Structures are given as C-alpha cells and as structure tokens.
Structure 1
Amino acid sequence: MNLRGGSKYYLLHLGVLLFIVLVVVFFGYGLLSPRSQEMGEPEAVTSMFVEELNVQEVVTLSRMAYSQPKVLTPSRKDVLVLTPWLAPIIWEGTFNIDILNEQFKLRNTRIGLTVFAIKKYVLFLKLFLETAEQHFMVGHKVIYYVFTDRPADVPQVPLAAGRRLVVLTVRNYTRWQDVSMHRMEMISLFSERRFLHEVDYLVCADVDMKFSDHVGVEILSALFGTLHPGFYGSSREAFTYERRPKSQAYIPRDEGDFYYMGAFFGGSVVEVHHLTKACHEAMVEDQANGIEAVWHDESHLNKYLLYHKPTKVLSPEYMWDQQLLGWPSIMKKLRYVAVPKNHQEIRNK
C-alpha cells in the first residue's frame, strides 16, 4: 500500500519535471528567430537589436509645414490618378515632393540609373548626364550605370556629392533591335551580380532623351511602368501589343490595361531583376521558335506588366516627344523628353 502510494508521487513529480523541461526548451527555442539561429550566439542577436535601436534613436524628423490634404477635394479631376488595382498614377499635382524627399532620405535610399550608349548612341550621353544632374533625383544618392561598347568615349560630366558614374563595357550588335533586346539580359545579369549590393532601386532609361524638369523619388516603388505618350488616351484594341499567339509576348485583343513605354521603367532591384530575366527568357524562347515580337523588348515588357501589375504608373509627363506631340494642356510638366534625331543615321552606325 505505501509502496504504491510512493510510486504515484514519484511518477507525478517526474511528469511535472518533464513538463517544465519541455516548456523551457520550447520557449527558449522560440525566442531565437531564424536570423539569430543563423548567427549562432544569442549575444549577437542582442547586440544587433541594440544597434538597430540606436540607429532609430539618432533619426530626427524636421518640422514640415504644408497644406492639409482634403479628403473631399481630389488632387486632379481631369485625369485618372488610381488604377483598379490601387496603384497611383503619377501626375503633377498628385504628390508633395518635400514630404517624399524627407521620407526617402530617412531610409538613406540609393538609386541606380541604367542607360545603354551603344555605337553612335554614345553621342547622346553627355546631354543625358548633364540634364540628369539638373533634374534626376536631386539631393539623393545616385549611381549612373552606363553600358557601352565605347568606354573611351564616355564624357566626363561633373557630378554632385553622393553621385557617381560606373562604366560597364558590353558588346554591340549589328541590328539596333538586338541591342534593344539584349538590354533585358544585361540588366538582369548585373542586377544579380552587382546592383543588388549597391542600390535599392533601379531606373532603366533610354539614352537618346533628356531630363527637362523634375524627376524624383515620387516615381520610386516596387515596380513602375510609364504610359506611352502615343497611347495614353487609346482603347486597348488600338494598343500595338504583340498579337500573334506564337510569341511569348502575345496579348489578346480583349486584354490589357495600358500600353507601357520600354524607354522608362524600374522599381526595386529585386523586382527589376524578375522583370528583365522573364523578358529575356521569353525573347530567347521566341528566337528558338523563329519569331520576334513586333516591338521587341517593349512587347515583352507590356506582357509582363499585364500579369505582374506595377505598383506605380507614371503619366506621359515622364516620357514625351514634344516635336511629334506638341504640349497639350493636360501635361503640366514635361519631365523626360525625346531629343530630335535621325533614327536611321544613328541606328545604322
């Protein structure tokens, strides 16, 4: 009788002890995040958290005075400012650049601008860089990534503090279409190998253009595309999408949101890598099937952005040809504009 009773107490105590051990092990393990487990020592985790807190403590917000936004007063009544998937469409009058500059500076944002100056297109580089210094991401850290087959011809342009130029030597191609399409391959490769370690956002632009007004952090988002100046008021049936089902860029006539310009797009480095890699792989598959999309890399860009919706859309203010289209009143600013040129002369040399 006494022996059985003692056995019961022994088993009860053993059970309680095991329960306590399991609780300690479970919660002790749970307190270590996957990141801290990789680091190995809990002391390293504590040090990391303290360091992050210290960084937050030194950040100070300056007082800003600006007009209060009015819920019942839209910023623009003459244009669409929000897509059906809730991405903002950026027009003059829809943002306060002072607020945005403050927020992006708090994050110490670094921006990369890629541009291809192949063959005689290197002639446009000086004006491109000079006007970028005047209007592009002024006051922020910028790296100009110039892809060229003529590194010796890259001009020396004075750069503001916190901005630098990197020349990346690449081969040229006989056809301008191949130069255009291989942009996606090069941006994809360098995004993975280099850009991910150097910048937070990538803006991918054509070189035969100039900045004529402010282009700043209002454009930055995970993924952005720019409305084509020739189609921003057109129906989807009129868009010059690739309409042949054999192509990887094919879009049926009853699909499509906007027609995006291949000359100005971007986003976070990760998202730009996804986009350019997907477009390059689609073009390789098209080539294997003996087809080339009607507007080359731009056709594939439009297919990608149809099914991977951009988180911001830039209005035609950010891509305009004044020589062809004039200056309609709906455009309050012309920010990034085409430079007059003889396409045939430039493309074939």
Structure 2
Amino acid sequence: MYLWNIKIVAGTLLLVLLLGVLYSSIFQSHRFFLVFENKYISQLHRNGPQPDFRTHDFHFEVPDHLQYKQPSILQGRTDVVTVTPWLAPVVWEETFDPVLLDSIYRPKNMTIAVTVFAVGKYIMFLKNFLETADQHFFVGYNVHIFVFTDRLDDVPQVKMAVGRQLTVRAVPSYSRWQEISARRMEMIQILIEEKLHNSADYIFCLDVDSNFHNHWGAESLGGLVAVVHPGYYEVDRSRFPYERRPASRAYIAPEEGDFYYCGGAFGGLLQEVHLLTKTCRTNFEADAKEGIEAAWQEESHLNRYMWINKPSKVLSPEYLWQDFKPRKPEIHIIRFSGVIKNYALIRPNV
C-alpha cells in the first residue's frame, strides 16, 4: 500500500511537471508572437497610414476545354535555373504558356500601370518606347502609361490600342542625372498614393531608353517582381556593383546578396511597389542628410531592399537585355532591351 501511494505521488508530480513545461512553452510562444505582432504594428505605425489598395483574387480558373500542351515536371529548361533558393520562379522563355496565362488573367479585367521617365534629352527615346510597348507589352490588357517629363511640348503623339491610355506628368529639370535617377522612387510613391491606389492592380517601372521586341505579359505578374541585370548574371556576387560603404543604408557586404537586379525594370502588386519606393526614398533621403549618395542611386537602394524583402518572382535577363551585348545561348528571346546610346550627349553632367 505504501509503495502504491509513492507511485501515485510520483506520477502526480511528473504530470504537474509536464503541465508546467507545456504551459511555459505555450506562454513563451504566445509572448514571442505578441512581441512579433507588436513590432510589426509599430513598424506600420511608423510608416504612417497605407493607401486603400484593391484586393485581388488569386484563384486560377481557366475556361472549360481549353487546349494547351501537357505540362511536365520531368522535362524543361536544363540550361538555366528556373527557381530561386526561396522558391520564387525565375521566368525564362519555354517555362510558361502565354495562352494558358492569358485565359486566367484577362477575364480579371485588371489594370497594369507603367511609369517611365523622359527627362531632358531622354525624351528622344519616348516615341519608340511607346510604340513598341503598344505592340508587345500586355497586349489585350488595360494598360495605363504615366510619362514623367520636363519637356511637355516634346511628348510625341502615339496612337494607342483600345484599353490603353497615356498620362503625362510634369517634373522639374535637374542639373545632375544622378538626381533624376534618385528622385524616381519619390515620384512613383506619390503617384501610387495620389492616383493609382484604387485604379490599378499592378505597376511596372521601366526605363525609357529601351524598346520592346517580343511578348511581355501575364507571366511577369507577381507580388514583388525583379529583373536580373544582364551584365552581372554570370559573375560571383562579390563583383556586383552593390553599395559597399557601411555608412550607407544601401550597404550590402561582399558575402551577401542574391542577384544584381536592374533599376530599369521592376514592379509587382501596387501595395508591394508602394512599400519598396517609400522605403528606398526614406533611406535615400536619410543618406543624403549625412552627405552620402549610394553608388547607383535608386538601383543601389532597390538591391538592398530586395535582398531583405525577397522578390516573389524573378524575371530573367530576357526582360532587360542590353543591345550592345551579343546574345548568349541561354537567351532564347529578347523581350525588352536598353538601346545603344552616347551618355555624353544625353546626360547633363557627364
């Protein structure tokens, strides 16, 4: 009897101990999530109120009996990487079916906004940009292109397809091309807050000194979308032209970073691009107060942002090639490319 009572007491103590450990675990876990949530709410509060963005339906429904090639998980591109370590798709030719994608996305009646800056002598590139965009960029979708320029009288008259519109916004002239580059984030942020937050779904920010050559469409849609720079996709990250000075808020250490992304082509959902541009602008202005200008202005801050905030979709160098570069074997198609130009003639302080 005495031995039995000892067993009961020991069993009770063990149960109490296990319940104590379980309670402690739950409490600490709850405390962790409270701290995380409070930090998140505090961050949102510091960033100020957010615009009321549209909600989105990510249900992928296709028309009944749509015919398309059978997909395979055993065959496909083997010469390039098609997914990042954080499981974001890397979009190359032959990794998607445009007919299938259009059948999913076109019925959603979305609006794709585009920003393009044609400041100073860069106005000379605008006509070809607009004409080639009309031929290749989101054909059959609602597209609203916003041109920022200091030369309102020189904006070309370009006939656009049904469902596409052009809006011109005046911006100041600058004596330094670096200032023009750096201020783009601020102007895109303001455009989203004042105009686009309830009238567009996605936005792409593109360089005017570039032309479209082939299809660019729904395969590029994603939460936060980056384009791998054609000049650095083959080299080690230690050679990327990141901002290397620790004093700058764009700083990335030599052993850090994923890819080097283009400042001349990025985009995504409106709310994601709004957060990107607002953050980059804030960091740029904070650097400026301390007398620091990042190595490649907004492109440096964009790369820092996208190292911390991973893109949900990465576009291959097909989406911003360079005309002076010979096409490599892995580049099966060029969709968008920067034209050959003499910077001494078009940049004010070169």
Fold shared, TM-score > 0.5 on shorter chain: yes
Equivalent residue in structure 1 for 2:66, among 64, 67, 76:
64
Q: Which position in structure 1 is the counterpart of 2:332?
A: 332
DSSP 3-state at the match of 2:261: coil
Greater Rg over alpha carbons, structure: 1
Structure 1 vs Structure 2 CA RMSD: 1.3
Query: Is the contact between residue 62 and residue 104 of structure 2 (CA under 8 Å) also seen in structure 1?
Result: no
Residue by residue over 1:207-234, the C-alpha shift from the partner in whole angstroms, topping out at 9 and shown as x without a partner, is 0010011111111111011001011011
- 1:258 maps onto 2:259 in alignment: yes
The whole-number CA distance in structure 2 between the counterparts of 1:70 and 1:131 is: 33
Letter in 2 for 1:113: V
The whole-number CA distance in structure 2 between the counterparts of 1:100 and 1:342 is: 39
Letter in 2 for 1:251: I
Q: Which position in structure 2 is the counterpart of 1:269?
A: 270
The within-5 A match list for 1:38-57 is none
The whole-number CA distance in structure 2 between the counterparts of 1:264 and 1:70 is: 30
Letter in 1 for 2:74: L
The within-5 A match list for 1:226-237 is 226-237=227-238
The whole-number CA distance in structure 2 between the counterparts of 1:118 and 1:237 is: 33
The whole-number CA distance in structure 2 between the counterparts of 1:139 and 1:84 is: 33
Q: Which position in structure 2 is the counterpart of 1:304?
A: 305
Q: Which position in structure 2 is the counterpart of 1:150?
A: 151
Letter in 2 for 1:208: D
The whole-number CA distance in structure 2 between the counterparts of 1:322 and 1:132 is: 17
Q: Which position in structure 2 is the counterpart of 1:286?
A: 287
The whole-number CA distance in structure 2 between the counterparts of 1:232 and 1:222 is: 22
Letter in 2 for 1:71: I
Quote the offset at 1:171 in angstroms. Answer: 1.0
The whole-number CA distance in structure 2 between the counterparts of 1:210 and 1:60 is: 31
What stretches of structure 1 move > 6 A for 4+ residues in a row?
none
The whole-number CA distance in structure 1 between the counterparts of 2:323 and 2:122 is: 20
Quote the offset at 1:294 in angstroms. Answer: 0.6
DSSP 3-state at the match of 2:194: helix
DSSP 3-state at the match of 1:261: strand
Identical residues among aligned pairs (%): 48
Q: Which position in structure 1 is the counterpart of 2:130?
A: 129
DSSP 3-state at the match of 1:100: helix
Query: Which runs of 5 or more residues in structure 1 are unaligned?
Result: 1-58
Q: Which position in structure 2 is the counterpart of 1:321?
A: 322
Query: Which runs of 5 or more residues in structure 2 are unaligned?
Result: 1-60
Quote the offset at 1:62 in angstroms. Answer: 5.1
Letter in 2 for 1:70: S
Q: Which position in structure 1 is the counterpart of 2:342?
A: 342
Q: Which position in structure 1 is the counterpart of 2:219?
A: 218
Q: Number of residues paired by the alignment? A: 289
Q: Which position in structure 1 is the counterpart of 2:58?
A: none
Quote the offset at 1:60 in angstroms. Answer: 8.5
Q: Which position in structure 2 is the counterpart of 1:242?
A: 243
Residue by residue over 1:133-172, the C-alpha shift from the partner in whole angstroms, topping out at 9 and shown as x without a partner, is 1110011110011111111211110110000001111112
The whole-number CA distance in structure 2 between the counterparts of 1:72 and 1:78 is: 14
The whole-number CA distance in structure 1 between the counterparts of 2:173 and 2:156 is: 19
Residue by residue over 1:19-64, the C-alpha shift from the partner in whole angstroms, topping out at 9 and shown as x without a partner, is xxxxxxxxxxxxxxxxxxxxxxxxxxxxxxxxxxxxxxxx982531
TM-score scaled to structure 2, two decimals?
0.81
Q: Which position in structure 2 is the counterpart of 1:28?
A: none
DSSP 3-state at the match of 2:256: coil
